[in-house]
Amino acid sequence: MTQSTKLGIFTLEKKISFQISLFALFFFVLGIHLFSLSAFADEKAEEKEKKDRNLLVLPVLFYSPETKLALGFGGGYFFRSAKENPKLRPSSVNSFMVYTTNNQFQVFVMPDIYLKKNEYRLQGAMGYSKFNDKFFGIGPGTTPEMEEKYISRSYLTNINVQKKVFSFVNAGLRYDFGYQKLIEVEEEGLLDSGEISGSEGGNVSGLGFFLNWDSRDNIYYSRRGSFHQVSATFYRRALGSDYHFTKYLFDLRTYFSVSTKHTIALQGYFSFSSGDVPFQLLSLLGGQQIMRGYYTGRYRDKNMVVLQMEYRIQLFGRFGIVGFAGFGNVADRLSRFDFAKAKHSLGLGLRYTFNRDEKINLRLDVGFTGEGRGFYISAIEAF
């Protein structure tokens, strides 16, 4: 998903530094996992017979600039048919429910099902969110002083159905539906003025198509291959949308295995829109996946271009480290991109392999920007 799980619910003593607290959270989760490995060591033989079906239900601890600390629980059911080739990609159903110290609440269910030897794939997300957020205005020239806080309530459903066309090429259809209402805004702010599209709330409903090339060796931790996706989604009043606009997305990723323990990951992310786009669905720069270190939507506009890279190193056992960098900007028109004033992001991350069979990592990232830094505790790689 689009997008991610966030959590936490306890307050740390003031004498403990902020950074140390985040590392404590990270290693707390590791401790839970290591304890579970020890507790169930005697069942290893039985688990081997069931290795094609893997159920994880754990407390979820997350941190991000958008949520601060949060706590909840989540589960993931990863499975293949016993008759399937173990090299085929696993199906999964993930879900989570979290409450954050920013008084936010989210609950989501996200199925990702492969059928007929990976010839068909069905993905989706359904969820509810009550979220305290920030709005800084629209465009590349906004400043931190323009920050406005608001609270929204939203419902989301999206469904993607794809079919393998040949080799690594897949084509599919998608449907998006969402409802959002702003239940609190700052008085005399931009959102209160009614001049910002989307501030009045309402439905968005869109139908689209996508085409992708996917030759990755692993969908959770890629070391070789590529993933390239091109999509277009048309939000129309005839489909029940209160807003008439179109979104185009180009997500281009390539992975190089430098050695058995070193990997380079590259991504070009291009998002373009036209029409009456609500501010919630503009191209958003920042967050756990795009330009870590910036608040999600710190910069937003109809169009965005971002280039990112990671250098991944597997250290020993289940541990690894990552260095990452990002470069990008937003603009209202393609002709107005100013890369001389592009935004930059640099950072470091620690990795712990939570599930060796599927190569699912727990990650702790610290991103640095010209406006400060952002800390993230999450699962699965950014791209």
* Predicted local confidence at residue 31, as pLDDT: 53
Q: How crowded is residue 287: how many other Cβ atoms within 10 Å of its Cβ?
A: 23
Beta strands 262-275; 303-316: pairing state: antiparallel
* Predicted local confidence at residue 255, as pLDDT: 98
User: In terms of Cα–Cα distance, which of 311, 291, 313, 309 is closest to 300?
Assistant: 291
d(CA 162, CA 112): 11
Identify whether 315 is part of a domain.
yes
d(CA 121, CA 299): 33
Write b or e for each residue in 96-115: b if 16 or more Cβ atoms lie within 10 A of its Cβ, otherwise e.
bbbbbbbebebebebbbebe
Identify whether 10 is part of a domain.
no
Q: Which structural domain range is residue 157 located in?
A: 18-379
Beta strands 245-257; 148-166: pairing state: unpaired
- Domain count of the chain? 1
Identify whether 8 is part of a domain.
no
* Predicted local confidence at residue 11, as pLDDT: 34
Q: What pTM was computed for the model?
A: 0.82
Which CATH number covers residue 217?
A: 2.40.160.50
Identify whether 3 is part of a domain.
no
User: Each residue's pLDDT tens digit in the chain (383 positions)?
Assistant: 443 433 332 333 333 344 444 455 555 445 544 444 444 444 444 444 455 667 767 777 778 889 888 888 887 787 776 565 666 777 888 888 999 999 999 999 999 998 888 889 999 999 999 999 999 999 999 999 999 999 999 999 999 999 999 889 999 999 999 999 999 999 999 999 989 999 999 999 999 999 999 999 998 899 999 999 999 999 999 999 999 999 999 999 999 999 999 999 999 999 999 999 999 999 999 999 999 999 999 999 999 999 999 999 999 999 999 999 999 999 999 999 998 899 999 999 999 998 888 788 989 999 999 999 999 988 889 99
Identify whether 126 is part of a domain.
yes
* Predicted local confidence at residue 8, as pLDDT: 33
Identify whether 43 is part of a domain.
yes
Identify whether 6 is part of a domain.
no
